[in-house]
Structure 1
Amino acid sequence: MRRTVHTAALSTASALLLALAAPAAGAVAAPSPRIDLKVLVVDDGGPATAAIAAELDGSGTPYTLLDLTRTNRPVIDAGFLSDTVDGRQRAKFQAVVLPNDSPAGVAAAELAALVSYEKTFAIPQVDAYTYARPEVGLDHPVNGGYSGSLDGAQAGVTAAGKAGPFGYLDGAVPFEDNSPAVGESYAHVAKPAAGADFTSYVDAPLPGSQERGSIVGEYRHDGRRELVVTFVYNQYQQQFRLLARGIVNWLTQGVRIGAARNYFAVHVDDVFGADDRWDTVLNCTPGDVDCPPGQGEPDPIRMTPADARYAAQWSAAKRFTLDMVFNGGGSELFKEENGGSDPLAQQLIADKNAYRWVNHTYNHPFLGCVQNVTVVPWVCAENADGSTRYVTRAEISGQIADNRGWGLRAGLPLQNDELVTGEHSGLKILPQQPDDNPNLGPALADNSVTWLGSDNSRDRAQRRVGPALTVPRYPMNVFYNAGRTTEMIDEYNWIYTRAADGGSGICETAANSTCLEEPLDTVTGYTDYVVPLEARIGLGHVLANDPRPHYVHQSNLAEDRIVYPVLNRILDGYTALYADNTPLVSLRQRDIGAELRHRAAWNTAVKAGHVSAYRIGDDVTVQAPSGVRVTATMPAGTRQSLFLGDAAFGSPYAGSASGWVAPGLLQDRVTLSLPAASVPAGARTGKAAKAPQVSPAAPRLPLPSGVLRHVPYGVTG
């Protein structure tokens, strides 16, 4: 049953505020308004509002998009913004995002309606990108400020920003500079206007000066609060990704439906097996299907015991757990060819608890159609009637079961419901095999597999295959057939340079591919070009609330150990950017699958309008379709009200509590009780809240050295 008595004591200041707001004797206090937990995004088609909308989408936060380019759009008036429900005032939106403080296409009467609405219900407003001027609390840039490019600049979170909505960051906010030939960012860096009640949360250096100016800050005026952003951005740029959480934190006052975390998991495929090596003369991989039959001699790449010891030491030093996706048959083959022992397997098994382990089938066969490799590229073999000839259910099932048995005998800590097939085979692959092997689903059922790895580059959406849901994995562009840096760059040049430069020319004809201006240097190209590029791509996934794992191969942990520079750059870069309260979240395959499943159900319900969420005072109520879990981010100390008592909500992350939650026993909705101090006065009384006073920013301190803390979080389900 819902709590009616709140045991948390009000602070003296809060008690005084309530006493001052109390009605006169004999008067009847108006009930606290209902604030619907939905954001109004007024979109002018620019990249800034699109970026904020994408952030809300990605975290599952409900919003209404009002497209200013549509002639039949709704008019913003009092009826559009608020009404009365069950005798109680209702604010239909908890926050407003505008393209700027006075966007073209919004009539004066509409702006007046927004001002009145924001003052009445204490609704905050974000100006997604605006010019610095006194109307937004800032001086004109010509008065000691700056307007121009911030490419490569080192912006930073101020003391007020760290104490407020950007407290999850360590301090530095570097702006990208990916190409000297392209202007990637533009900003107005300015100081507060004389007499303005303005607090800078993120600032940037003023060229030719030791001073700094605001690029993100809060302007309080006329009983309203605006977050003023004076740099332009899009949803993919690192500087926005770093600040997106804080913008939404401020926008929703820390109370919102939806959640986001920073995820990173790395699968190492073919462990215990060997990978064929790229031939720098033939420009193909002998032993694999891209070389014509009979060309070249296979030269396998396989980890050594020293490579295995290094992997365990690296994992411990970085506090990061690799997922070893293994083929037990590879070890048995090595024993047959090398006197009956396998020192690599002995070392990996000795360190088995340093890793997570995933079944990759016994000896890595292709489990889709039967391949005809007499031609390049290969084609599917056919039956006598012309139909596609598929690998049988018995063979697929045997590969799964045999590898599971091998792992159990070795004492590997397995989850039997996880599987990655070799090359993601069995699943459709274009152009040769447009459909899944029809025998794959039944074989998965034979072995109780419910989480199946897939290739995100060709099968991004989670989907059902028999009893299993797929877990799309990002391929890292660190090639499976390269153990040495020189091989990696030779193949990279072959793929990504023009035929006139000695490459294959594939980049000139393939969709979604870009040719290098010139071939990479075989000595420096990997360190100077590939590593920074792959690390930037990987970190971009991390910062986008994307739990999908990345995958590499055991060959990349062997010989020159070429994957570690990429992983180090991602992990070290993350640690330098984020505070200790925002650890990197590393989940195993089944938990990633559950996260994606919950998101899909939630997002479907939100987009269909089947979710109701609102706040009244210090209570939040969320109702979703039966069986759909609710995702939310709330202040630390939030409790879930249950039929008998209550329970702590969520788990701590980035200074808040967040997670998935379902109604309790005999309940059809989720009710959360907020800590009293977290509720704005306007949400209690229906009157404009007094703007909170934030102390002036303290002098910016040097960036402290970071401590690696990559903490795994589990997902229920």
Structure 2
Amino acid sequence: MKRTSRTTALIMGALLSGLGAPVAPAAAAAAPVPRVDLRVLVVTDGGPATAAVTAELDGTGTPYTLVDLTRPDRPVIDPGFLADTVDGRPRARFQAVVLPDDAPFAAGSDEMAALVAYERTFAIPQVDAYTYARPQAGLEYPVDGGYAGPVDGLRAEVTAAGKAGPFGYLEGTVPFEDNSPTVDESYAFLSRPATGADFTPYVDAPVPGRPGRGVLVGEYRHDGRRELVVTFAYNRHQQQFRLLARGIVDWMTRETRLGTSRHYFAVHVDDVFAADDRWDTALDCTPGDVDCAPGTGTPDPIRMNEADVRHAVAWSRGRGFTLDMAFNGGGSVEYREEHGGGDPTADRLIAERDAFRWINHTYDHPYLGCEQDVSRVPWTCATGPDGTTRYVGRAEIDRQIAGNRAWAERAGLPLRTDELVTGEHSGLRLLPQQPEDNPHLAPSLTGQGIAWLGADHSRDPGQRQVGSALTVARHPVNIFYNAGRIAEQVDEYNWIHTSRARGGSGLCEELATTTCLDEPLDPATGYTGYIVPLETRVALGHVLAGDPRPHFVHQSNLAEDRIGYPVLDGVLTRYDELFAADTPLVNLPMGAIGAELRDRAAWRTAVRAGDVTAYRVGDTVTVEAPPDVPVAATVPAGTTEGGAAFGEPYAGTASGRVASGPDGTLSLGLPASPAGADTARAASPAPHRPARPAPAAPVPAGVVRPVPYGAER
């Protein structure tokens, strides 16, 4: 791939002349069409707003260059840093500029002058990640009828212009989080556009205590430049930013960028056909499982019945959402043996097989890691005479995988044979008892042709190779496997999340990943009033972050009180309220999720290594990438590749991954741009006002250190 470049007097002259005025139309017409590289320049002051934008670019796989103003060894932003020429064609090295605010440099700064000239010359958009509202940003001062202060719980709205523009994928409401009554979680300047300013509000909200509405996000066009002005503080995790992040990136890249972004939601239901042991609210443990001392209590299993299956089918079809059933065929065999040969639950599930997807969860759910010594609590790994750990052998692992596969074939289940979730994710390392994988697991997976292996995200989050398989980390939903009734769920939740002084186990005081409740939850209201909203927010947070990893519950949660559904309904309902119909949840099977994680990691590695180059010349995008790495891109609807439509429609754009050619080059044809789409119009200057210094924009404690949703895993 040819990548020669040199800075020429021509482009230097263009930038220097641009310091005073845009390039003359006659000169621009005579010059070659510029090349604009698909890379974003992010200038940060170390604050959470630019960090959030950077995280969004990272997550989607969009290349960027970071300039940290707090570092003395940072590069100087000058004409040579911003532009040069390639093969005689002027090149803009960045398609967009992100600044921490509208004026991060000192007055009279040569660096700001270079950025202004660059943006004018090449029609490059600028994002002011979080800025004070003032006429220099196209807005009135907040003291002139606006508001400056905390906005926790604010309900903002996308304007008509926002829906017709960069935020059309949203249904309309942008709710601001309010997770703690004692911590300020966000701060905003709400004000009107300045008189005479060419300013288009995209997101606004009612001004607290006053009539009218104030801008939170809008576009300011002036002096041949375009700025996206954001006047509220945020961090990368907050819902308000997650809702607007796609639109911010689409706006600054004009919907033409490397990388992809979608919202995923998949739910695995473990232990189908089997039964789950029940939590004992008197003993505070689970008889029959390893958290109760041997001989303690009486097991009381929880198992779905036929009515529960009918409900699951009706729910899935009514919601248009497919559940993944991780099943243990041996559970049905055991039930039939104990109940005279009949199993109405299994019969109904098999009859309704096409309502679900099916995942091999081993034949009868044994622990496939080390051999467990359960003579004490907590259990330990059994050891041999020489002190080495004893592991479950390969023959047993093979039997569990192949036996369940054979049972499914006899039952007629449409099983994807290369997917596997072992019982309790066993066989994989489990701290503190088992710090290494069972050495017999990898050979068994390879022999059984397993490509995708479920893992617990709370313990093993990264994708890794185990024999022939890549792991697919799954998010545990904090609704317990040993609870079929609300009372059991709340009681166990209180036991785990309450300090010893308040009658709990004290685990929340010992584990860094778990927080303590201020008070035990009320048995009557704790589930619907606390646990369901909390787990809904956690799961929806994963969705809004573009995380494709599945969530998992257990068949016990679809039985008895059916405590799993309120959380699933909460996620699906809330998502439908927030997003337009052209931005649906993507519900993938486990293998497709694994492939997405694999391809995403390969793309991110290539981008970070500098192995990907992309640029736009007119309506043609050229990408150079390693031939073995599918190119990820988001482009306007109507873009073509090789004469065919590129990608799939999502959120008003087209996006996808496609292999580059044998030489590592991919060419995309963009739809013709509307006349003047890439130019900023000069607005009449706002009336003169006495100068007021721009105060430092406050960043509340809940932004610097994000406020957690509540008791965590």
Change (3 A) 1:50 1:68: same
Q: Which amino acid aligns with 2:653?
A: S
Which of 631, 648, 652 is the equivalent residue of 1:651?
648
Look up the match of 1:174.
175
Look up the match of 2:190.
189
SS where residue 675 of structure 1 aligns?
coil
2:107 and 2:356 mapped to 1: Cα distance?
A: 56
SS where residue 315 of structure 1 aligns?
helix
SS where residue 278 of structure 2 aligns?
coil
- TM-superposed CA distance for 1:562, in Å, is 0.5
Conservation of the 8 A alpha-carbon contact between 2:635 and 2:654 = yes
SS where residue 193 of structure 1 aligns?
coil
Look up the match of 1:497.
498
Look up the match of 2:460.
459
Look up the match of 1:661.
658
Q: Which amino acid aligns with 2:311?
A: Y
SS where residue 397 of structure 2 aligns?
helix
- TM-superposed CA distance for 1:153, in Å, is 1.2
Look up the match of 1:670.
666
Q: How does 1:579-658 map to 2 (within 5 A)?
A: 579-641=580-642, 646-658=643-655
- TM-superposed CA distance for 1:554, in Å, is 0.3
- TM-superposed CA distance for 1:677, in Å, is 1.9
Look up the match of 2:331.
330
Conservation of the 8 A alpha-carbon contact between 1:681 and 1:690 = no
Look up the match of 1:146.
147
Look up the match of 1:244.
245
SS where residue 584 of structure 2 aligns?
coil
SS where residue 241 of structure 1 aligns?
helix
Change (3 A) 1:133 1:105: closer
TM-score, normalised to structure 2's length?
Answer: 0.91
Look up the match of 1:576.
577
Q: 1:572-594, CA deviations, whole angstroms, 9 ceiling, x for partnerless residues?
A: 00000000000011100000000
Q: 1:53-93, CA deviations, whole angstroms, 9 ceiling, x for partnerless residues?
A: 00000100000110111001000000010011110111110
1:491 and 1:208 mapped to 2: Cα distance?
A: 44
Look up the match of 1:3.
none
Look up the match of 1:525.
526
Q: How does 1:459-498 map to 2 (within 5 A)?
A: 459-498=460-499
2:343 and 2:609 mapped to 1: Cα distance?
A: 56
1:689 and 1:133 mapped to 2: Cα distance?
A: 20
Q: 1:95-152, CA deviations, whole angstroms, 9 ceiling, x for partnerless residues?
A: 0000001115797110000000000000000000001110010011111111112111
Conservation of the 8 A alpha-carbon contact between 2:198 and 2:683 = no
Conservation of the 8 A alpha-carbon contact between 1:225 and 1:691 = no
SS where residue 627 of structure 2 aligns?
coil
- TM-superposed CA distance for 1:689, in Å, is 5.0
Q: How does 1:270-349 map to 2 (within 5 A)?
A: 270-349=271-350
Conservation of the 8 A alpha-carbon contact between 2:192 and 2:215 = yes
SS where residue 593 of structure 2 aligns?
helix
Change (3 A) 1:680 1:372: farther
- TM-superposed CA distance for 1:179, in Å, is 1.3
Change (3 A) 1:678 1:591: farther
Give percent identity, aligned residues only: 67
Q: Which amino acid aligns with 1:663?
A: S
Look up the match of 1:57.
58
1:391 and 1:626 mapped to 2: Cα distance?
A: 42
Look up the match of 1:390.
391
Conservation of the 8 A alpha-carbon contact between 2:498 and 2:520 = yes
2:79 and 2:467 mapped to 1: Cα distance?
A: 51
1:417 and 1:657 mapped to 2: Cα distance?
A: 30
Conservation of the 8 A alpha-carbon contact between 2:222 and 2:683 = no
Q: Which amino acid aligns with 2:323?
A: L
2:514 and 2:674 mapped to 1: Cα distance?
A: 49
Change (3 A) 1:348 1:149: same
Q: Which amino acid aligns with 2:644?
A: A
Q: Which amino acid aligns with 1:549?
A: P
Conservation of the 8 A alpha-carbon contact between 1:617 and 1:679 = no
2:682 and 2:90 mapped to 1: Cα distance?
A: 21
Q: Which amino acid aligns with 2:390?
A: R
Conservation of the 8 A alpha-carbon contact between 2:638 and 2:671 = yes
Look up the match of 2:203.
202
Conservation of the 8 A alpha-carbon contact between 1:68 and 1:105 = no
Q: Which amino acid aligns with 1:460?
A: P
Change (3 A) 1:285 1:30: same
Conservation of the 8 A alpha-carbon contact between 2:222 and 2:681 = no
Conservation of the 8 A alpha-carbon contact between 1:637 and 1:674 = yes
Conservation of the 8 A alpha-carbon contact between 1:122 and 1:680 = no
Q: 1:384-436, CA deviations, whole angstroms, 9 ceiling, x for partnerless residues?
A: 32221111111101100110111111111111100000000000001111111
Look up the match of 1:705.
none
1:672 and 1:65 mapped to 2: Cα distance?
A: 27
Aligned residues: 662
Change (3 A) 1:681 1:154: closer
- TM-superposed CA distance for 1:668, in Å, is 2.2
Q: Which amino acid aligns with 2:646?
A: F
**Greater Cα offset, 478-487 or 208-217:** 208-217
Change (3 A) 1:650 1:54: same
Q: How does 1:78-93 map to 2 (within 5 A)?
A: 78-93=79-94
Look up the match of 1:547.
548
Conservation of the 8 A alpha-carbon contact between 1:151 and 1:177 = yes
Change (3 A) 1:475 1:555: same
- TM-superposed CA distance for 1:512, in Å, is 2.0
- TM-superposed CA distance for 1:681, in Å, is 6.0
Look up the match of 1:18.
none
Look up the match of 2:359.
358
- TM-superposed CA distance for 1:210, in Å, is 4.5
1:277 and 1:669 mapped to 2: Cα distance?
A: 58
- TM-superposed CA distance for 1:29, in Å, is 2.9
Conservation of the 8 A alpha-carbon contact between 1:650 and 1:659 = yes
Look up the match of 2:15.
none
Change (3 A) 1:554 1:110: same
Q: 1:485-516, CA deviations, whole angstroms, 9 ceiling, x for partnerless residues?
A: 11001111111101111001111122122110
1:280 and 1:67 mapped to 2: Cα distance?
A: 54
1:33 and 1:662 mapped to 2: Cα distance?
A: 26
1:691 and 1:605 mapped to 2: Cα distance?
A: 40
Conservation of the 8 A alpha-carbon contact between 2:197 and 2:683 = no
SS where residue 576 of structure 1 aligns?
helix
2:52 and 2:607 mapped to 1: Cα distance?
A: 19
Q: 1:318-342, CA deviations, whole angstroms, 9 ceiling, x for partnerless residues?
A: 1111000000000000000001010
Conservation of the 8 A alpha-carbon contact between 1:273 and 1:302 = yes
SS where residue 677 of structure 1 aligns?
coil
Q: Which amino acid aligns with 1:556?
A: N
SS where residue 676 of structure 1 aligns?
coil
For structure 2, the residue ranges without an aligned partner over 5 or more in a row are: 1-23, 685-713
1:681 and 1:484 mapped to 2: Cα distance?
A: 58
- TM-superposed CA distance for 1:667, in Å, is 4.3
SS where residue 347 of structure 2 aligns?
helix
1:522 and 1:448 mapped to 2: Cα distance?
A: 47
SS where residue 309 of structure 1 aligns?
helix
2:293 and 2:107 mapped to 1: Cα distance?
A: 64
- TM-superposed CA distance for 1:208, in Å, is 3.2
RMSD: 1.7
Q: 1:317-368, CA deviations, whole angstroms, 9 ceiling, x for partnerless residues?
A: 1111100000000000000000101000011111111111000000000001
Q: Which amino acid aligns with 1:676?
A: A
- TM-superposed CA distance for 1:23, in Å, is 6.0
Q: 1:532-572, CA deviations, whole angstroms, 9 ceiling, x for partnerless residues?
A: 00000000000001000000000000011001111111110
Q: Which amino acid aligns with 1:162?
A: K
Conservation of the 8 A alpha-carbon contact between 2:427 and 2:441 = yes
1:160 and 1:353 mapped to 2: Cα distance?
A: 43
1:98 and 1:495 mapped to 2: Cα distance?
A: 44
